[in-house]
Amino acid sequence: MINTTAQPENALRRDVVNLLAERGITPTQQRILIAQELLSKPQHLSADQVLHRVNNQTNTVSKATVYNTLGLFSEKGLIKEVIVDSSKVFYDSNTAPHHHFYNVDSGTLHDIECEALKVESFPEPPDALKIQDINVIIRVTQKT
């Protein structure tokens, strides 16, 4: 994620370009637009939301490019896929280990900081497998 505190637009763009370069990602116009939109603050967006936000500005980015770019960013560790809903993937600009509240009514995610929730102990993975990721999702609803 990028520090955007009181930074002018062009500084943000420069930061994004550097960030992409650091990860070996060619900073094309479309990728820069998507990165600016998604990485400017902690948030959880679906591919479709990214598509619409990016295309609200003048420039236009195709659906395929949004999907390709999100896949690339996530592969390069710039963002994280969050799987909580069977019908779509969310992309999280916060790549630090943390967990989520998922509001099943509104379809929105809220971070739970890593320190706020501790997974106390867990068994060894079967068959000598390696742990890739530990993920806690607390599904919440409107109180009835």
Select 1 or 47, whichever has its Cβ closest to DNA. 47
29 touching DNA, by CB under 7 A: yes
Q: Are 92 and 44 in contact (CB under 8 A)?
A: yes
Q: Are 68 and 25 in contact (CB under 8 A)?
A: no
Tokens standing for 55? 């295309």
Write the DSSP assignment of 46-65 as a string of letters. EHHHHHHHHHHSSS---HHH
Interface residue with a second copy among 11, 21, 83, 114 (CB under 8 A) is: 83
Q: What are phi and psi of 80, to 5 degrees?
A: -125, 135
The site string for DNA over 35-64 (x = CB under 7 A, - otherwise) reads -----------xxx-----------xxxxx
List residues near DNA by CB under 7 A. Answer: 25-31, 46-48, 60-65, 67-69, 71, 86-89
Q: Which residues bind a second copy (CB under 8 A)?
A: 81, 83-86, 88-89, 99, 101, 103-104, 110, 112, 116-123, 125-126, 128-144
